[in-house]
Chains A and B, each alone.
Chain A
C-alpha cells in the first residue's frame, strides 16, 4: 500500500506505476461532464487546479439547515471515458496531476499523463459509502449553477483508496488486461 499526501506534485505522481494501491490524503476537486465542457469551451476554472486532483464524481450532498454546512452522503466515481475528449487539455493547460474515476480513459489522456506528469487513479465503482466515509470535510462549492452533482466540490479526504491504472510512463492497466483477456478469448472461442 502506498500513500500520496497533499500538496501533490507531478514529481510525486511520477513515482507511481500501474497496479499500485494508493491511499490519498488531502484535497480533491470533483468535476464531471459540465465542468469539463465548460473548461473546454474556453472558460477559466474558478479554482486554481495546478498540482491538484480532479475526481470524476457527482456526489450526493446534504446541507445542514442550521449550520449551512455540507456533508457528502454518497461519493462513488462516475464513468471517466466521457471526459476523454477534454481531459488532456485540462492536464496540459491547468496542470492537474491526478484524475480519479472509473473505467479508465483513452490514448489522448494516457499521452498527456506521460507528457505533463499526471496519473489516473481508479476508485472502486459503486463503493459510494466507503468513499464518502473518507471525506472529512467539504471546503468549497463552485459552479453551483450546473446543479449539485455537476458542480465543483472542494473536498478534504483521508486515506481515500484507489488503484493506479494509468501511470505517467505510458502504461495502462486497462490496455494490459484487455490485451491479455483478448488472447484468452481467442483460445476459448
Chain B
C-alpha cells in the first residue's frame, strides 16, 4: 500500500457508526453487513499481526501475510468487501421472550437485498436445482437465520460471512477412524482435527481458524462447530481439557509447515475453538469448521427504542 493510502486509512475514524438519532432496524442491519464484509474484527486482526511478525522476512509466507495486511487496510479504507466471495450469510439473533421472529426475518432479508445492491455482498446465492442466480442473495435457506431466546431485554444480532473455499475444506469424521488410528477418545479427536488441517493445505485460504464440535448427530455437530467461530480468539474454554487441547492443536498444526496460502511457513492455524455435544452410543462424530484468514463475523446490540446500534460485539 502506498504511504498516501496508509495515511488516509489512519485518518478515517469512526468506521463503526454509533448514532443517537432514531433509525430503522433495516438500516442498522445494513450497517452490520457493511462492517462485517469490509472490516476485519479486532481480535482477528491482532492475531494476524502477531503471526506476520513471526514469519521469516523475505519468504513467500511473509510476502503473503504482507499482502493480506494491505488488503485488510484497503478494504476498510474503500469500504469494499475484504474478499469477493462474501460467503454464506449467516445470522444469529438473540432476543427476549415475546419477540416477533417472522417480522425480524423480513427485515434481515431487506437488509441483505440492500447490501447486495450496494456491493457489500456479491450476488452469491444459487438455486441448487436450476443453477439460477437471482442476484439478491435470497432463496431457499438463504440467508441462514437462527433465533435464540435469551434472558436479557435487548436484541443482539451476530453475523458470519462464511466463504466457499474454506467451507469446502471443512470436514466431518466418524470415530473410530482406522486409517488414522483415531479411537473414540480425546486423543482420537486430536488426530482427526490435525488430519483435517493437513488435508486442507492452503486451499481454504489459510492461515485458518477452526471451530470444532465433538459429538452430536451429523447435523448438530456441524452447526455447533461453526458456532464456535463466534467465540473471541483470545477467550479461553471453560472446560480445562478442551482449553488444553485447543492450544495444543494450534501449536501442533503450526509445526506442519503448510503456512499462509500453503506456501510453506509457520502460520498454518491462528485459532482452534472446541465444544462438545452428547451423542448416541452408536455414533461419534467430530466436525471441523474451517474459516479462512478473511474471518468475517461481527455482532451488534440493538437499542430497542431507537433501533440504533448500541454496541459492537467484536
A residues lining the B interface (CB < 8 Å):
19, 21, 58-60, 73-76, 79, 102-104, 122, 124-130, 133, 161, 163, 165, 173-174, 176-178, 180-182, 184-185, 188-189
Contact = CB atoms under 8 A, between A and B. Distances in A.
B259 interface: yes
17 contacts: A60-B122, A79-B203, A102-B205, A124-B71, A125-B165, A126-B294, A127-B68, A128-B75, A161-B67, A163-B64, A163-B263, A173-B264, A177-B258, A177-B264, A181-B201, A184-B255, A185-B195
Interface string B94-108: 000000000000000
Given A163-B263, A173-B263, A189 B180 contact: yes
Contacts of B201: 174, 177-178, 181
Contact of A181 (B74, B198, B203): B198
A74 B84 CA distance: 6
Interface string B48-86: 000000000000100110011011001100101111110
A126 B75 CA distance: 11
Contacts of B64: 124, 163
Contact of A129 (B82, B263, B292): B82
A185 B194 contact: yes
Interface of B: 1, 60, 63-64, 67-68, 70-71, 74-75, 78, 80-85, 119, 122, 163, 165, 168, 180-181, 191, 194-195, 198, 201-203, 205, 252, 255-264, 292-294
Contact of A126 (B1, B119, B257, B292): B292
Contacts of B81: 60, 74, 128-129
Nearest to A147: B133
Contacts of B198: 181-182, 185
Contacts, number: 129
B263 A177 contact: yes
A151 B191 CA distance: 43
A124 B261 contact: yes
Nearest to B83: A126
Contact of B263 (A74, A133, A165): A165
Given A127-B70, A129-B81, A130-B74, 19 more contacts: A21-B63, A59-B84, A60-B119, A74-B81, A76-B85, A102-B165, A125-B83, A125-B292, A126-B83, A127-B67, A163-B261, A174-B202, A177-B258, A177-B262, A177-B263, A184-B256, A184-B257, A185-B256, A189-B194
A127 B63 CA distance: 12
A46 B239 CA distance: 61
A115 B78 CA distance: 43
B134 to A, nearest CB: 13
Pick the most buried of A73, A79, A177, A178: most chain B CB atoms within 10 A of its CB: A177
Interface of A is mostly: mixed
A128 B84 contact: yes
A104 B165 CA distance: 13
B203 A188 contact: no
Given A127-B68, A181-B256, A19 B294 contact: no
A130 B257 CA distance: 25
B75 A129 contact: yes
B265 to A, nearest CB: 9
Nearest to B63: A21
Contacts of A176: 264
A45 to B, nearest CB: 24
Contacts of B168: 79
A68 B256 CA distance: 50
A118 B68 CA distance: 27
A41 to B, nearest CB: 18
Contacts of A102: 165, 202, 205, 261
Top 4 nearest A-B pairs (CB, nearest first) are A74-B84, A125-B205, A126-B83, A129-B74
Contact of B63 (A75, A133, A161, A180): A161
Contacts of B78: 129
B62 to A, nearest CB: 10
Residue from B256, B258, B293 having most chain A Cβ neighbours under 10 A: B256
Nearest to B187: A189
B190 to A, nearest CB: 9
B181 to A, nearest CB: 7
A144 B85 CA distance: 21
A121 to B, nearest CB: 12
Contact of B80 (A73, A181, A185, A189): A73
